């Protein structure tokens, strides 16, 4: 059961990535997304059911890798684009999406504003850090001072011992 859920999630993930990377699908994009997801999920379910009867893991793995490769090729070839150039052709010509294209696609296709989410997360982390420093700042400073004093004492003792050792070596050499 877990394998089927994982495989379905991978089908959905591949569709989301392709649609976010190449969001200029026009009016029929959402319809294509829905129909394509339904068909590919049904194919995954049927393929997984058939592969369950084959107990050889390697064959099952290779079958699913080929399946996902065919899915990527098919969806990228059939996905509508406003410029009438298929995503497959764009990939073949080396026109891959930029990070800006991908962020724009997530915002326009799925309503996810990554920059706003990251800014909000960054602000939240800064607020928590400032709050922690206010609550525990004195304790941290005191602990740091204790460490400094301990290091000074240990360093002084080490230097003193090294000096005594050097003096003994010097006396030994002069004898």
82-106 burial code (b ≥16 CB/10 A, e <16): eeeebbbebbeeeeebeeeebbbbb
Of the ranges 9-23, 53-67, 121-135, the best mean pLDDT one: 9-23
Residue 19: how many other CB atoms lie within 10 Å: 24
- SS3 at position 56: coil
Helix then strand then coil, in percent of the chain rounded to 5, is: 85, 0, 15
pLDDT at 175 over 70: no
- 34, 75, 92 from 39: Cα distances, Å: 9, 11, 25
Q: What is the pLDDT of residue 64?
A: 87
Sign (positive/negative) of CA torsion 21, 26, 31, 35?
negative
* Distance from the first to the final alpha carbon of the chain: 85
Q: Can you read off the two tokens belonging to residue 22?
A: 């190449």
Among 4-18, 85-99, 126-140, the minimum mean pLDDT is found in 126-140
Yes or no: say if 36 and 75 are a contact pair by the CB < 8 Å rule: yes
Q: What is the pLDDT of residue 74?
A: 93
pLDDT digits (tens, 9 = 90+) for 8-53: 999 999 999 998 888 888 888 889 999 999 999 999 988 888 877 7
Q: Can you read off the two tokens belonging to residue 119?
A: 């800014």
- SS3 at position 169: helix
Q: Look over the chain and give the mean of its residue pLDDT values, rounded to a whole number.
A: 84
- SS3 at position 97: coil
């Amino acid at each position: 059961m877990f394998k089927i859920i994982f495989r379905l999630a991978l089908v959905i993930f591949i569709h989301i990535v392709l649609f976010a990377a190449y969001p200029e699908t026009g009016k029929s994009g959402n319809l294509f997304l829905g129909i394509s997801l339904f068909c590919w999920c049904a194919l995954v379910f049927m393929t997984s059911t058939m592969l369950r009867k084959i107990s050889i893991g390697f064959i099952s793995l290779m079958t699913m890798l080929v399946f996902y490769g065919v899915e990527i090729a098919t969806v990228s070839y059939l996905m509508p684009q406003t410029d009438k150039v298929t995503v497959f052709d764009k990939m073949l010509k080396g026109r891959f999406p930029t990070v800006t294209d991908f962020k724009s696609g997530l915002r326009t296709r799925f309503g996810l504003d990554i920059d706003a989410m990251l800014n909000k997360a960054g602000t939240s982390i800064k607020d928590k850090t400032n709050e922690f420093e206010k609550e525990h700042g004195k304790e941290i400073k005191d602990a740091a001072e204790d460490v400094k004093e301990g290091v000074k004492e240990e360093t002084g003792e080490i230097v003193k011992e090294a000096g005594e050792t050097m003096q003994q070596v010097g006396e030994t050499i002069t004898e």
